[in-house]
Amino acid sequence: MFKHFLLIARRNLLKRKFYSFINIIGLAIGMTCCILIALYVENELSYDRYNTKHDHIYRVAQTFRSFEKGQKVTTPLPEDYQVWGCAPVGPALAADFPQVKDVVQFMSPVSLLLEFGDKRLQQENLVCIDSTAFKVFSWKLLYGNPQTALVAPNSIVLTQKVAEKFFGNDNPVGKSLRVNNGDNFTVTGVVADVPANSQINFNGLISMTTARKWREDIFNYWGYVDFYTYFVLKDHADIAAMKAGIPAFIKRHNSEDPGYTIAFEKMDDAYLYSKAARQPGPVGSMSNIYLFCCIGIIILIIACVNFMNLSTARSLERAKEVGVRKVMGVQPSALRWQFLFESLLISTVAAVLAVVLTKFSLPLVSALSGKDFTPKEFFNFQLFIWMVGLTLTTGLLAGVYPAWFLSRFQPVEVLKGVFRPSVNSISLRKALVIFQFTLSITLIAGTAIVYTELKFLNNHDLGFAKDQMLVLNFEGDEQVQKNIERIKKSLADQPGVLSVAASRAVPGEFLPNAGTDIQGPDGQMKNKIPLIYEIDFDFIKTLQIPLVAGRNYSRAFLTDSTQSMVINEAAAKMYGYRHPADAVGKKFAQWGRQGTIIGVVKNFNFRSLHTEVEPLTLRYGMPDMLNRILVAVKADHISATIAALEKTWKTEAPQRPFLYHFLDESFNKQYESDQHFGYLFSLFSCLASLIACLGLFGLATFTAQQRIKEIGIRKVLGASVSNIVVLISKDFMRLVLIAIVIAIPLCLLIMNQWLKDFAYRITISPGIFIATAAISILIALVTISWQTVRAALANPVPSIKNE
């Protein structure tokens, strides 16, 4: 039986090569999309799962809210928490909860100048961490002892990539690195590079005892925020019991702060499900995963619909075959199995082709997604099992209805030549064409909306000047800090430089919060926790941030550096001022400094446009708090200006390498994940449209062949080529127009939900759908016209003579 089915299937595939090609290519592209989307989704779902204890690891989320005296303390919402918190909570958890096995804390990454011999590099993303790191996280040490590597002060563990920069392939344990032209750090280990699908990434680990040596006081202060706290739960311990004990825990340790509380988040949920702010690394989007899964299913369904449409459309060709077989005694069930076997055979061929297409697509998808998909990881036993399942699913999904439809033909009608396709079968084909084009058009319109939103983000007025703005990174170098004004002046004297400023951070970078008291409209001091920029006199002017009330910092006022503060509109509103001008002259107290508000700047987007502008204080920063120099340069001769700046820097700060980047480039990195999403969305939308067009092309070809005699007669009677093209095309175009009408509200529903992730978003305009409709109609016309024009131009004589 199997051999018989294989023989018949082979004959049919070879006999109708064109339709077989369309079916196989369509299914192969659909399967390829499913595989690629599955790889992407698997990567997103696997974040932090490389840790062997991942299902027992939790982290502490903390709230630092402010409540005035007498104000009711409300239950915090999930978005009120942040993962970035204080240090004392870690030891307190270990002491109070017997369920806790190990606790590890690490600080925000720092950038240090490392030197070994003649090699001198500014190394980013170095993290101070507890010695228990290797007990909690599954980071593999290539050299060194995990028990002692992070115990002693001035100990550093390098990643393999960084170690190779300084020491090649040698074992560096025991060797010293000079740090920031001062202390020597001893290399106590080399850790294998952390997997890319990890929220916690670093280039090196510094012992926490080193940080204690730098600032012992912050480790006992519940109000100082710069630590991430993770812990391992003991086997069979109950996290619910720990959560129930949180109120008593807070009462014992920090009862004086009503706005402080903690919550526990499972590490497995951190990347995709956490709503807490100040994450230690990248975060994913569960809605994007759902969307891509839907796209994968949609594309596969469109490919299967093509198969069903072409199979049922060609029913007349196979009707006699079915009739003869039934007369010879073949049961309908056997015929169904035969047609299902053909479908599974086509699906199998398509699956093999899909694996090949996927292999060659991996570099492109890696570039578009920002993830590293390698063929080595791709080809495994899991893929084999997955492909078997996908092949069976696709074959059955595409073949069940055609098998049932074809096996129902009545042999008497077929062999008499009176068989005609039923109205129901024709209606179903039309419905399937509408269905697949509805999905395709929805994806095309969705792509247009995604790119319109991303363009809006790139072109949105942020409220400050970021173009032609160089950021020189000196990471708190003491010599630069001491001579900051002289260095700024030397840089400002170079041709092509418009202005120079200094600050602790620049827009797009990490900012701390600061407990700040500001006098409210009622005259009482109100305590809130806004963000803080530490800046110099020239920061606001250089970034061209508009003032809406009061004045900027000025060297003409001696108290500006010690008794003055500038805030933004959001901060003025938070403290109760409807009009920014009313906040000018009010008293403030912040981090040991007291004085008055001298100005209010217009809200500017110093963070991603995913969030609204937050309350911000712009505090004058003493030189020992500054890390960045901003240089506004003219648009012309930028290369020459940079060369002049580098020469000046080497003269003024020879101990420090000249490191710079453009502010707009670093700021736009916040939207990399959105850009990658847009690239992938566009790719899969194009492929979905291609598959739909393949099906339409096949149907148009078949329709033209079926109506070849009618076309010949019409030509003889004087019909023009355009008349015939319109005749054949109008039925298909009617279906496409119906699909457009259905796709518009469907797209609006889906994309409005996606846009909710952006605080600043476009309003979806009718123009997007008009353009999408025009593109869809044009694509359909081009697809159909290839065959209809060919049929209309053919010589009518052979078609009329053939009977």
- The pair of structure tokens assigned to 94 is 């270990």
Q: Can you spell out the DSSP letters for 420-466?
A: ---HHHHHHHHHHHHHHHHHHHHHHHHHHHHHHHHHHHHHS--SS--
Q: Mean pLDDT across the stretch 442-447? A: 89
pLDDT of amino acid 691: 83
- What whole-number distance in Å separates Cα of residue 488 and Cα of residue 498? 12
Mean pLDDT for 567-595 is: 96
Statement: residue 424 has pLDDT above 60:
no
Query: What pLDDT does 327 receive?
Result: 58
Q: Which helix (H) or strand (E) holds 563?
A: helix 560-563
Closest CA to 706 of 371, 426, 307, 493: 426
**Which residues contact residue 287 at a Cβ distance below 8 angstroms, ignoring those fewer than 6 apart?**
753, 754, 757
* Per-residue model confidence (pLDDT) at position 165: 93
Q: Is the pLDDT of residue 582 over 70?
A: yes
106 neighbors 127 (Cβ within 8 angstroms): yes
Q: Which residues make Cβ contacts (< 8 Å) with residue 383, sequence separation at least 6?
A: 355
pLDDT at 97: 96
Identify any residues that bridge with 184 across adjacent strands, giving them in sequence order: 178
The reported pLDDT for the residue numbered 5 is: 54
CB 7 within 8 A of CB 336: no
Amino acid at 179: V
Query: Tokens 């507890």, residue?
Result: 130
Confidence of residue 131 (pLDDT cuts 50, 70, 90): very high
Q: Which residue has the higher pLDDT, 89 or 694?
A: 89
**What's the pLDDT at 421?**
53
Least confident among 41-45, 49-53, 304-308, 493-497: 304-308
> Which residues touch 327 (CB under 8 Å, ≥6 apart)?
411, 415
Chain segment 300-342, per-residue pLDDT in tens: 888 887 777 766 655 555 555 655 565 565 566 666 667 677 7
pLDDT of 414 strictly over 60: no
Which residues lie across from 566 on neighbouring strands? 599, 618
Residue 103: per-residue pLDDT: 97
Distance (Å, whole) CA 112 – CA 696: 61
Span 85-114, average pLDDT: 95
Local confidence band at 716 (pLDDT 50, 70, 90 cut-offs): confident
The values of phi and psi at residue 527, to 5°, are -100, 120
Q: Which residues pair with 661 in a beta bridge?
A: 471
- pLDDT greater than 70 at residue 795: no
Look at 69-78, 483-492, 533-542 and tell me which has the smallest mean pLDDT.
69-78
In this prediction, residue 648 carries a pLDDT of: 96
Q: Closest Cα partner for 700 from 603, 790, 565?
A: 790
CB 469 within 8 A of CB 630: yes
Q: What is the pLDDT of residues 610-633, one digit of tens each?
A: 889 999 999 999 999 999 999 999
Handedness of CA 195, 199, 200, 201 (dihedral sign): positive
Query: Whose structure tokens read 């008794």?
Result: 563
| pLDDT tens digit sequence for 485-537 | 999 999 999 999 999 999 999 999 888 888 899 999 999 999 998 999 999 99
Q: Angle, to 10 degrees, between the axis of helix 672-706 and the axis of helix 286-313?
A: 10
| pLDDT confidence tier of residue 376, bands split at 50, 70 and 90 | low
Tokens 């398509």 appear where? 350
Say yes or no to pLDDT of 787 above 90: no
Residues in Cβ contact with 456 at an 8 Å cutoff, skipping those fewer than 6 apart: 760, 761, 762
Is the CB of residue 44 less than 8 Å from the CB of residue 198? no
The pLDDT score that the predictor gives to residue 21 is 80
Confidence of residue 800 (pLDDT cuts 50, 70, 90): low
Mean pLDDT score, 347-357: 88
Q: H/E/C letters for each residue in 217-273?
A: HHHHCCCCCCEEEEEEECCCCCHHHHHHCHHHHHHHHHCCCCCEEEEEEEHHHHHHH
Residue 35 buriedness (CB in 10 A; 0-12 / 13-18 / 19+): buried
Instruction: Give the lowest-confidence range in 101-115, 277-291, 392-406, 762-776.
Output: 392-406
Handedness of CA 492, 497, 498, 502 (dihedral sign): negative
Q: Cα(685)–Cα(440) distance, rounded to whole angstroms?
A: 7
pLDDT of residue 464: 95
Q: Tokens for 331, please give them.
A: 């049961």
Most confident by average pLDDT, 645-654, 730-739, 789-798: 645-654
- Distance (Å, whole) CA 685 – CA 725: 28
Q: What is the pLDDT of residue 780?
A: 82
Answer yes or no: is pLDDT of 799 > 70. Answer: no
* Mode of pairing for the β-strands spanning 628-633 and 469-473: antiparallel
Euclidean distance between the first and final Cα of the chain, in Å?
36
- Break the chain into its structural domains and give their ranges: 2-44+287-457+672-801, 54-273, 469-668
352 CB-side CA count, 13 A: 5
Q: pLDDT tens, 8-40?
A: 656 666 666 777 787 888 888 888 888 899 888
CA 445 vs. chain centroid, Å, equals 20
pLDDT at position 304: 80
Q: What is the mean pLDDT of the chain?
A: 86
User: Are 628 and 578 a contacting pair, CB within 8 Å?
Assistant: no
Closest CA to 138 of 192, 206, 204: 192
Q: How many CB atoms lie within 10 A of CB 582?
A: 15
